[in-house]
Structures are given as C-alpha cells and as structure tokens.
Amino acid sequence: MAPIPITDPADPRIAPYVSIRERDLTGGSDGRFIVEGKVTLGILLSKSRFAVDSVFLAESRLEPLAGMLAQVPDGVPVYAAPQEVLDAVAGFPMHRGILACARKGAPVSREALLGAPTLLVLNGLSNHDNVGAAFRNAAAFGAGGVLLDERSCDPLYRKSIRVSAGAALWLPFLHGGSSEDHLSWLEEAGYEVWAMTPRAGSELLHEKRPARKTAVLLGPEGPGLADGLIARSTPVRIAMAGDFDSINVSTAGAVALAHIHASRQSR
C-alpha cells in the first residue's frame, strides 16, 4: 500500500512511536515493541517470527528502502513524515529515520526450546547491551535458543534488538521464571549445564568436550552466579593471562559457545 503521510506529531495513528525512550523504560504493557534501523527492519520483514503492526519512516528513507518496503505484509501501514516530525514523535533526533512496531505474540514453548543441542542461559543480566550481544553471539555460534530469567532485561527492548543485529527477532527464547526453575528444566531435559565462573578449581573450558545437550549459564557482571546455581552445575572457567580473571559477560558467552560449536563441528 502507498505510504501514508504524517504531518502532525499528535496524529493518533503513530501513537506507539511517541516518546519511545520513556516506553523503553516502562516496558510495553500492550505487547508491542519497537524496532529501529535498516538491518533490524530487514530482519523483521524477512525472518522474524513476530507480526508487524506498522512501519514509520522519515520521508527521505522511502526511496532508498523501496525494495525492502515491498516485503511489508498486505494491510500493514507504512507511515512517512518529515524528519522534524519523526523526531518530535520519538522524543529525540532519529538519525536513522527508520522505525517499526511489532507484537510479541505467544511465547516459545519450553518443550520447543529444550530440544536444542546448545542453549544459552542468562541469569540476572539487566544490561540491554549485554543481552543484545549475548543473542548475537548465540546466533553466530549455533545455539538453538536463549533462556532468560525474570531478572534479565527484555531482549525485545529496542537497543537490545539493535545490538543483537536482529538475532532477538528470530532466535527462539523464553523469558521469565527463576534460574532455579530453569536449572530444574534443563536437568530434566538431559542438559549438562556449564556455569561460567572465574573460580579456581573450575574445569578449564578448552579441556571440555560438550555433552549431547549442553547449556551455557551466564551471570551478571560483578557478583556473577550465585553459589547455589554453580553448585547445581558444572563450573567452567576460561583460561586467562596472569592476574586477570574476568571479561565482559557476553564475551565470555561467545568464547564458550565458539568452543562448543567448534567441538561439535570437528566430531
């Protein structure tokens, strides 16, 4: 359908895009979320499992994105506004000039997620950049999905999606519940859980061979994983130089997942 011009920032048709930073902070109680940028819009339209509600662009982006916009499902409106109107709606300068609104829909079932040979499990990760990077790493190294506890931030937060390079839009995930519950699910499903920790005495990652079903468990930066979670898992550490014992949590996940992926490929 032809783009629909928007000239008034108060137009009710673009209400989901109003003050999106504030919406990020409060969460989307109506089940909607916002996607920002060309790469993530392309994935939303071509590969995502989520339904698209609308697209909202700066007028200057219509021609460069004509091919991509041809993938917008029938009946989904594409709104276009002058840059200053889009900025006024969003509440800050939208240099990319590309937004879309989608709906979360039904969550992935536990049974579907727990069938994957490799899973990434996030415990208490409240930083959106780290969650987005963790999803990107999981996708890059062949993990079949991500399990996030209730204390971890929403992977469909706008910045998390962008940092994930769109992986959060198609990689299966389940968000909610406690990490203790998650460990019980993983144990029942036959996973060996690798609790990533710098603790002395933990098994060295490069000496480990992944089990048929392996889950990599990551905790928050600073406190790390709780003692009880480590005790119920296999503690695994990454060999590091000298007096340095920690790296960014998403980087640790990448190293562990890359090791598992390479080990499976070499079998």
- What's residue 21's pLDDT? 77
pTM: 0.94
Q: Are 225 and 197 in contact (CB under 8 A)?
A: yes
- What's residue 130's pLDDT? 97
- List of domains in the chain: 4-103 (3.30.1330.30), 110-266 (3.40.1280.10)
What average pLDDT does the segment 78-102 reach?
A: 94
In the predicted model, is pLDDT for residue 75 greater than 70? yes
Q: Are 235 and 195 in contact (CB under 8 A)?
A: yes
3-state secondary structure of 266: helix
Euclidean distance between CA atoms 24 and 246, whole angstroms: 30
- What's residue 204's pLDDT? 96
Tell me which of 161 and 105 has the higher pLDDT: 161
In the predicted model, is pLDDT for residue 25 greater than 60? no
- What's residue 29's pLDDT? 58
- For residue range 190-204, list pLDDT tens digits in order: 999 999 999 989 999
Q: Which two tokens stand for residue 126?
A: 């409240």
- What's residue 203's pLDDT? 97
- What's residue 23's pLDDT? 67
| Residues comprising the chain, all counted | 267
- What's residue 24's pLDDT? 64
Tell me which of 229 and 29 has the higher pLDDT: 229
Determine which of 23-32, 102-111, 171-180 has the lowest per-residue pLDDT on average.
23-32
In the predicted model, is pLDDT for residue 18 greater than 60? yes
Radius of gyration of the chain (CA): 20
> What does 51-64 look like in DSSP terms, one character per residue?
EEEEEEEEGGGTTT
Tell me which of 94 and 78 has the higher pLDDT: 78
What is the rounded average pLDDT for all residues in the chain?
93
Sign of CA dihedral 78, 84, 90, 94: positive
Euclidean distance between CA atoms 4 and 223, whole angstroms: 50
Residue that has been written with the tokens 């460069």 in this structure: 64
In the predicted model, is pLDDT for residue 253 greater than 60? yes
Q: Are 60 and 83 in contact (CB under 8 A)?
A: yes
In the predicted model, is pLDDT for residue 254 greater than 60? yes
Euclidean distance between CA atoms 45 and 166, whole angstroms: 11
Distant-in-sequence, close-in-space partners of 200: CB < 8 Å, separation ≥ 6:
none
Q: Are 98 and 54 in contact (CB under 8 A)?
A: no
Between helix 128-140 and helix 249-266 the angle, nearest 10°, is: 10
- What's residue 200's pLDDT? 86
Quickly state the pLDDT bin for 153 (edges 50, 70, 90).
very high
In the predicted model, is pLDDT for residue 8 greater than 60? yes
Q: Which amino acid is at 140?
A: A
Q: Using alpha carbons, list the distances in angstroms from residue 216 to 136, 147, 174, 237.
A: 15, 10, 15, 11
- What's residue 221's pLDDT? 87
Q: Which two tokens stand for residue 148?
A: 């996030």
Determine which of 16-30, 58-72, 155-169, 230-244 has the lowest per-residue pLDDT on average.
16-30
Quickly state the pLDDT bin for 140 (edges 50, 70, 90).
very high
